[in-house]
Amino acid sequence: MVTPEQRHRDPRGPDASRFDNFKNVAYGVIVAVFAVAAGFNGFKDIWTPSSALSSKVMSGTQVALFIELVVLMFRWIIATHHEMDMWALWLDNPFTKQEIYTAMFGLSVVLGLLLAFPHRILFLSGFMTLYFLFNYWTQWLANDHFFRALQKTKKGSLSITKSKVLNVMDNFWMNRPQLARIVTMMFFSSVAFDFALAGEFHSGRQKTLLQLASYGILIIDILLGEIVIALWRHKLDQDIATVTNSEEEN
């Protein structure tokens, strides 16, 4: 049976096989960047804390953040791949392969660096704040690109199914507060940076408490931000599946 997706597939879209291969390359870049950076910054120290309770608590918090970043790595790469496939499937020539590969490579480098610095909260919180600022710009570009591709697609001959799917995608990219989510995460990562910076001017127990506060804010910030976008993506996939399954039944 020919599925609705196959009937609407744009033959000018990126080669799915090559894109799958590049996704694997992206994981390789992440590992390579992580290995190089972690090899020179004392990363291994988080796994060997001293016998002091404060050292164990700090090490446990750093490991928790590292695990969260590993999960984030897989989620961001998979989500980027999935959304690019969706654009290629339903929109008319929304992007070029070079744009896809550049975005995936840049994301891979960022994720590799994030993974290598869970024990350097001042650097990590500052780096993430700058990343969210850059992410705000790239999300704005993506939304603008999506809007132009959507208008171009709607000028063509559309089936009822494709028209409904485009409306679902329009709601996700243009009506969801995508930029507000990024700004909120950037704000809290900057707060985490402030706590980490304040810790640099103290010592002993006070420094530890400030750093732990910074870790806590950053961990919660990333967790809540991913929960929100995961719910939005689930709703997007669910609504598109409802539309396409409805056509198959008819």
Q: What is the pLDDT of residue 211?
A: 95
pLDDT tens for the chain, 250 residues: list them: 344 444 444 433 445 555 566 677 878 888 899 999 988 888 888 888 877 888 889 999 999 999 999 998 888 888 887 888 888 889 886 566 666 677 777 888 888 999 999 999 999 999 999 999 998 998 898 898 889 889 989 888 888 899 999 999 999 999 999 999 999 999 999 999 999 999 999 988 999 999 999 999 999 999 999 999 999 999 999 999 999 887 665 5
List the chain domain ranges: 15-249
Exposure on the CB side of residue 59, measured as CA atoms within 13 A: 15
Of the candidates 188, 189, 211, 185, which has an alpha carbon nearest to the alpha carbon of residue 198? Answer: 211
Evaluate the CA torsion angle 37, 209, 130, 173 in order and state its sign: positive
pTM for the model: 0.84
Rg of the chain taking only CA atoms, in angstroms: 21
Exposure on the CB side of residue 245, measured as CA atoms within 13 A: 6
Q: How far is CA 108 from CA 3, 29, 93, 111, in A?
A: 33, 6, 24, 5
Torsion of CA 135, 37, 230, 178, to 10 degrees: -10
Q: What is the pLDDT of residue 82?
A: 85
* 3-state class (DSSP) for residue 69: helix
CA angle 14, 18, 23 (to 5 degrees): 100
Q: What is the pLDDT of residue 17?
A: 55
Residue pointed to by tokens 């993974």: 115
What is the H or E stretch that residue 231 is in? Answer: helix 204-249
Residue-wise DSSP of 165-217: HHHHHHIIIIIS-HHHHHHHHHHHHHHHHHHHHHHTT--HHHHHHHHHHHHHH
